[in-house]
Amino acid sequence: MKKSFSTISSLVLGTALTTSVASGATGELAKIMKDRGLSEVDVIRAAKTYNPTGVKDKYVVFSSGGQSGQMIVYGVPSMRILKYIAVFTPEPWQGYGYDKDSIDVLRQGNIRGREINWGDTHHPALSETDGKYDGKWLAINDKANPRIAIIDLADFETKQIVVNPVFKSDHGGAFFTPNSEHILEAAQYAAPFDNNYHPIEEYKETYRGGVTVWKFDPKIGRVVPNDSYTIEMPPYMQDLSDSGKGLSNGWGFTNSFNSEMYTGGIEVGMPPNEAGMSRNDTDYLHVYNWEKLYKLSKDPKNVKIINDHKVIPMDVAVKNNALFLIPEPKSPHGVDVDPTGQYIVVCGKLDTHASVYDFKKIKKLIDNKEFVGKDPFGIPILDMKKSLHGQVELGLGPLHNQYSPVDGEIYTSLYVDSQVVKWNFKTLKVLDKENVHYNIGHLAGMEGKSADPQGEYIIALNKLAIDRFQNVGPLHPQNHQLIDISGKTMDLLVDMPLPLGEPHQAVAIRASKLHPHVRYEMGTNTKTGKQHIGKTLAGQERIERDGNHVKVYGTLVRSHINPERITVNKGDRVTMYLTNLERAEDETHGFTVDHYNLHGSLEPGETIELDFTADIEGVFPYYCTEFCSALHLEMMGYLMVKDPNKKYESAQKIKMKSMTPEELKAEYDKTVAVNNATDAVIQSVVKFLKDNKYQDHKVVANLVTDAFDQYNQIPAQKKKADEAVKAGEMEKAILFENMIWQLMVKTADVGIRAKDALVRIIATTQSTAAARGEKTFAEGGCNGCHVIGKVSSGPDLTGVLQRHENGVDWVSRFILDPQSMYTDPYVKGMIDYFNLKMPNQHMNKEEVKDIIEYLKWVDENANLF
């Protein structure tokens, strides 16, 4: 069944050769292919994954970041990384763990009072409505320190971390139930539920496994711990889990290994865990009715309270017909419910088979109370054969499954064989295999575990990369491989190195389902979603002192921080509330105080809090850490910490020559004149925008709003400048006028962008030739000298076709062979005027034709430039 590489390539090559790309590879494309050693198949695969600039991906993938304790967001099919989401680990760029409110989130994850600053993330899960991804919330587990975190997809920030009160590790989480009312989290390594010492000899009596059923409120996106409960389970090592849906809604399924309850002891001469824990031929699939048990958990007589948390003992679950076991091939790994909820596929790991269980059969056995026995803890066992739809031999080391929209079609990872196998879980037939590199763990389909899988692609999440990438030392990148599954056979398209922890599982969602915002309401505490207590608007900036506590209410806006000087005493507690006043998209300001290990990222509208003790004396610059504008470097100030017990001798001031009153007046006049001229430019842009009804076009209107955000700050500055003039403080007046110029430049910058955008919208549509021509005009370097609508270092080309008799011929000739026309009196005059000669850009006739079409389009719209 395994295909050799040559079979695959000849197969695909066979198809490729009949396509137009292969036969059409001429000219530059053929040259590039030759230079880079690319085959036609390579080029087709490249075209399937390439996004031209500005083009976005169809799917967004959320991958666990493994030991980084973070999540990785990337696009499909481009496989471009978009973001790391900080979850269990501090992340400086986003200020996560460096400002007060995010520290509060991170510290929700403290265990028994201890700070934990990392996580081993395994399974991300997207919130669901009717079993389909709704794009609202994201959850992920931490295996090492049993915790679940919740991320809000409105801003891709972590909002909540809950610690499992009874487990000592987890693995089978996070899994949302079909309407996101609950999140399942199964334990991994059995341990005592309480926090006390229990000797390993008492393993069977005191060590326990289980599944925690967290209550989730999908409206506010938070776990509700006191409405959550844990189902006690035997000390078999529970592993992966899945929530039922459709037919099996209300039920949960959890695998296990070590039903032997082996406890190892190499050091006392026992065989190692790996031998003892895999001795039996079968382990147990746990089948439980979480919905029923949730109702039972409300009655105190059904639960034991351990560490302030409700635990339903095994006997209570059994008595209420809500907990069962079914044998499964030993030490399995993945358990994945199909989109209808009827079939549950369990992967063998140590067995070459996948086992397809049928929930209808399971339910019948349960309803008829038809059991083959009980385990040592009294849990009824269902007959394996009678529960199975069937088994299929897939290959070595089957681990995880994903579904496609094709009825019965399923994709399974084969860890040992390093393959993805496509098969049908209804007909139990193997359909195709694809080699991956190497040792695949999970695989991610497009919404491939929801009730609405999309097919198209499968991503192989490989454990080893070995030789796939540039050697960067013994620790290799992770390797995600994108596989096209739209054809009859799979086709591996591209590798993506991932430089951040081992990504166990990834989930993909259609990008069209995500609607994150680009700014916050002014003064938002993004971690709570509420108004921040430190919200500060322009004009409200202040420093308040209350004993040894100094509170700073500051703002940031291009390109200053207010206040710019803060003086405190050594030992003072300093609380800084900072608000980013921007409304413009992507105008984030970062903030740090040097030497104080603080950092905040302030997205437009966000308020943050930095809380610290000024425990070292000195002068500490603080500054904006995002290159936000041309005057970003100037966006700074000083924290000055003085020791109240010290006497400071003042330094001798150096005498410097100062300007005469006449010189100051001249500089002031010059500054005002420049401002007036700049304002005239702004007014002409404004007139154009108004004349052409900019407000009818949302993109333009947004830019104009941003521009006016800047412009409207001018009157206040003007008032200060005029007051300074009146008071005879010319130096101050000049500085305020300079401030006005800064605001004008920022206004003009956005205003001109708005104008350009509007021109594009209202101009006549370009023919394809004209569009090609515009590209050639830019790429051929013409726009280095000729700016449409303006005289630059060459003449304005608006109307050039009319300026000359037989304009089209004249211009074409001039582009193709400028030297031959240098003596033409008109051209000679231009050469003298601009002191430049039109160079030969070596364009071909086709390109010149396109440029002419472009110039015609320019003339058609001449009034707009």
Binding interface with ligand CUA (CB under 6 A): 589, 624, 626-628, 632, 635
123 vs 532, which CB is nearer to ligand CUK? 123
Measured between alpha carbons, how far is 142 from 69 in angstroms, rounded to an integer?
8
Q: Is 449 in the site for ligand CUK (CB under 6 A)?
A: no
**Taking CB within 5 to 8 Å according to partner kind, which of ligand CUA, ligand CUK, none is near residue 504?**
ligand CUK
Tokens of 3: 């295909």
Residue 624 near which of ligand CUK, ligand CUA, none (CB within 5-8 Å, type-dependent): ligand CUA
Q: Does 493 bind ligand CUK (CB under 6 A)?
A: no
Nearer Cβ to ligand CUK (175/214): 175
Q: Residues 45, 100, 122, 310: which binds ligand CUK (CB under 6 A)?
A: 122
Smallest distance, ligand CUK to C-beta of residue 240, A: 6
Q: Is 527 in the site for ligand CUK (CB under 6 A)?
A: no
In the list ligand CUK, ligand CUA, none, the entry touching 704 (Cβ below 5 to 8 angstroms by class) is none
Query: What are the residues facing 410 on neighbouring strands?
Result: 403, 423
- Partner in contact with 822, chosen from ligand CUK, ligand CUA, none, beta carbon below 5 to 8 Å by kind: none
Q: Is residue 558 involved in binding ligand CUK (CB under 6 A)?
A: no
DSSP character at residue 385: H
Name the minimum Å distance from CB 496 to ligand CUK.
17
Residue 461 CB, shortest distance to ligand CUK, in Å, is: 7
Q: Which is nearer to ligand CUK, 347 or 382 (CB)?
A: 347
Q: Is residue 213 a contact partner of residue 294, using CB atoms and an 8 Å limit?
A: yes
**Position with the least CB separation from ligand CUK:** 441
Instruction: Name residues contacting ligand CUK, limited to 400-419 (CB under 6 A).
Output: 400
d(CA 265, CA 450): 42
Q: Which does 393 bind (CB under 5 to 8 A by kind): ligand CUK, ligand CUA, none?
A: none
Binding letters toward ligand CUK, positions 234-263, x by CB under 6 A: ------x-----------------------
Looking at the Cβ atoms of 135 and 590, the one nearer to ligand CUA is 590
- Smallest gap from residue 562 Cβ to ligand CUA (A): 12
Q: For residues 755 and 689, is the Cβ–Cβ distance under 8 A?
A: yes
- List, as own/partner pairs, every contact residues 98-103 make where C-beta atoms lie below 8 angstroms and the sequence separation is at least 24, other chains included: 98/597, 98/598, 98/599, 98/600, 99/598, 99/599, 99/600, 99/608, 99/609, 99/610, 100/608, 100/609, 100/610, 100/611, 101/525, 101/526, 101/527, 101/528, 101/532, 101/608, 101/609, 102/527
Check: CB of residue 545 under 8 Å from CB of residue 525: no
Strands 222-233 and 309-312: parallel
CA 74 to CA 507: how far, in whole Å?
11
Contact residue for ligand CUK among 131, 192, 441, 523 (CB under 6 A) = 441
Count Cα atoms within 13 angstroms, Cβ side, for 641: 22
Return the number of the residue (166 or 628) whose C-beta is nearest ligand CUA: 628
Q: Which does 632 bind (CB under 5 to 8 A by kind): ligand CUA, ligand CUK, none?
A: ligand CUA
The partner in contact with residue 442, picked from ligand CUA, ligand CUK, none with C-beta cut-offs of 5 to 8 angstroms by kind, is: ligand CUK
Please, which of residues 150-179 interact with ligand CUK by CB under 6 A? 171
Nearest CA to 307 out of 410, 168, 439, 423 is that of 168
Give the residue from 597, 593, 594 showing the smallest Cα distance to 554. 593
**DSSP H or E run through 158:** strand 157-163
Are the beta carbons of 746 and 629 closer than 8 angstroms? yes
Residue 634 or residue 756: which is nearer to ligand CUA going by CB? 634
Under the binding rule (CB under 6 A), the answer on residue 188 touching ligand CUK is no
Structure tokens at 578: 């900072």
- CB of 740: closest distance to ligand CUA in angstroms? 19
Helix, strand, coil distribution of the chain in percent, nearest 5:
30, 30, 40
The CB-of-660 to ligand CUA minimum distance in angstroms stands at: 36
Q: Where are any strands of DSSP class E within 499-606?
A: 506-510, 524-525, 530-531, 542-546, 549-557, 560-562, 565-569, 573-580, 589-593, 600-602
Q: Considering CB under 6 A, how many residues would be counted as binding ligand CUK?
A: 11
Residue 168 binds: one of ligand CUK, ligand CUA, none (C-beta under 5 to 8 A by kind)? none
Measure the CA–CA gap between 648 and 329, rounded to whole angstroms.
79
DSSP structure class, residue 124: E
DSSP strands (E only) in 581-689 = 589-593, 600-602, 607-613, 618-623, 636-642
Q: Which does 344 bind (CB under 5 to 8 A by kind): ligand CUA, ligand CUK, none?
A: none
Minimum CB separation of residue 400 from ligand CUK in Å reads 6
The minimum distance between CB 403 and ligand CUK, in angstroms, equals 16
* Short-list 627, 456, 496, CA closest to 558: 627
Nearer to ligand CUA, 70 or 601 (CB): 601
- Asked whether the beta carbons of 147 and 132 are under 8 A apart, the reply is no
| Tokens 């394996």 -> residue | 384
Q: How far is the CB of 434 from ligand CUK (least distance, A)?
A: 18
Query: How far is the C-alpha of 708 from the C-alpha of 683, rounded, in Å?
Result: 12
Per the CB < 8 A criterion, the answer to whether 303 and 322 are in contact is no
In the bound complex, what is the minimum distance in angstroms from residue 182's beta carbon to ligand CUK?
20
> Judged by CB, which is closer to ligand CUA: 436, or 628?
628
Q: Say if strands 573-580 and 549-557 run parallel, antiparallel, or are unpaired.
A: parallel
Which entry of ligand CUA, ligand CUK, none binds 422, CB below 5 to 8 A by partner kind? Answer: none
Torsion angle defined by CA atoms of residues 104, 105, 107 and 110, in that order, rounded to the nearest 10 degrees: 150
Q: How far is the CB of 759 from ligand CUA (least distance, A)?
A: 30
448 is a site residue for ligand CUK (CB under 6 A): no
Interaction of residue 442 with ligand CUK, rule CB under 6 A: yes
- Sheet with strand 353-358: strands edge to edge: 335-337, 343-347, 353-358, 388-393
Nearer to ligand CUA, 610 or 858 (CB): 610
Per CB under 6 A, the list member of 333, 389, 599, 856 interacting with ligand CUK is: 333
Report in angstroms how near the CB of residue 716 gets to ligand CUA at its nearest: 20
Q: What is the DSSP string of 713-780?
A: THHHHHHHHHHHHHTT-HHHHHHHHHHHHHHHHHHHHHHHHHHHHHHHHHSPPPPHHHHHHHHHHHHT
Binding of residue 504 to ligand CUK (CB under 6 A): yes
Amino acid at 120: D
Minimum CB separation from ligand CUA for residue 636, in Å? Answer: 9
For residue 182, state whether it binds ligand CUK (rule: CB under 6 A): no
* Partner whose footprint covers residue 441, from ligand CUA, ligand CUK, none (CB < 5 to 8 Å by kind): ligand CUK
Give me the least distance between CB of 606 and ligand CUA, in Å please: 13
Residues that bind ligand CUK (CB under 6 A): 122-123, 171, 240, 333, 399-400, 441-442, 504-505
